[in-house]
Amino acid sequence: MVIAIGLAIAIAPSATGQTIDTTDVKTNEIFELRDFSNPISVTELNGWREQVIADFKKSNATSDKPTAGIGGGDLKFPKTAKIVAYYYKIDENGIPHEFIGLAENPESVTTTQLKAKEWIANETSSGRDSALLSTDWDYVWSAGTFYTFYPYGGIGNNVEIDRKSQATKDYFGVHQVFQQSPGWVLWGNLKKSTTGWAWHDWSVCSGSPLL
């Protein structure tokens, strides 16, 4: 299995489908799960994210929370995959947390959605990477994705963006964990992983393909 998943990174409730754990959903937060026959569209995803950002900016217009440059990214994924899980939240410090779950076929949906719930539970309980807590970098954005292709396996990609601002320029740091989960790990079959890779397209920030 050779799979590539990437992020184009920039600084910048649905009427249908199944929403899970709605009693736990708070302001500035969306969590949506769908089946393979009725997946989440990119248009819906972008609309939910933009609405959460707009609501957060409106509710915090007079506070000292960061609202001008909310971090974000646009996922690049196989055209045959479907988005079956989406989570977006802006926490009390103005930091966005985002998860996109992808399934290649109907048999992959349950595993992808379980990964979504695991990511959300871990993100809300532990927050940012403890190794970065003592630094003088500002926490900008965290995101997770998981792509599942039964019976072959899955790919997980977790990214945290941090920023250090100085008088003349900003520096950005990327902390990434890229995970391959072959079929024998996820479902106990004989499928093993061969090659996987991840990439970041920073040119969306400046328009320069050299970045």
With CA atoms as reference, report the closest residue to 116 among 17, 30, 194: 30
d(CA 7, CA 200): 5
Q: Give residues with Cβ within 8 angstroms of 1, minimum separation 6.
A: 149, 152, 153, 182, 191, 193, 194, 196
Q: What would the DSSP string read from start to end of 98-121?
A: EEEEEESSGGGHHHHHHHHHHHHH
Instruction: Report the side by side order of strands in the sheet with 153-165.
Output: 29-33, 82-90, 96-103, 138-149, 153-165, 170-182
Query: Tell me: the pLDDT tens digits for 27-85?
Result: 678 999 999 999 999 999 999 999 998 888 888 766 655 544 566 666 677 889 999 99
**What mean pLDDT is predicted for residues 130-154?**
81
**What mean pLDDT is predicted for residues 119-124?**
86
Q: Where are the domains of the chain?
A: 2-206
Q: What are phi and psi of 172, to 5 degrees?
A: -120, 135
Query: Exposure string (b/e) for 144-174, b if CB count within 10 Å is 16 or more?
Result: bbbbbbbebbbbbbbbbbbbeeeeeeeebee
Minimum mean pLDDT range among 17-31, 53-67, 150-164: 17-31
Query: What pTM was computed for the model?
Result: 0.78
Q: What would the DSSP string read from start to end of 137-149?
A: PEEEEEEEEEEEE
Q: What is the pLDDT of residue 195?
A: 77
Query: Tell me: the pLDDT tens digits for 169-187?
Result: 888 788 888 889 999 999 9
Q: What is the pLDDT of residue 129?
A: 54
Q: What is the pLDDT of residue 24?
A: 44
Q: What is the pLDDT of residue 73?
A: 64
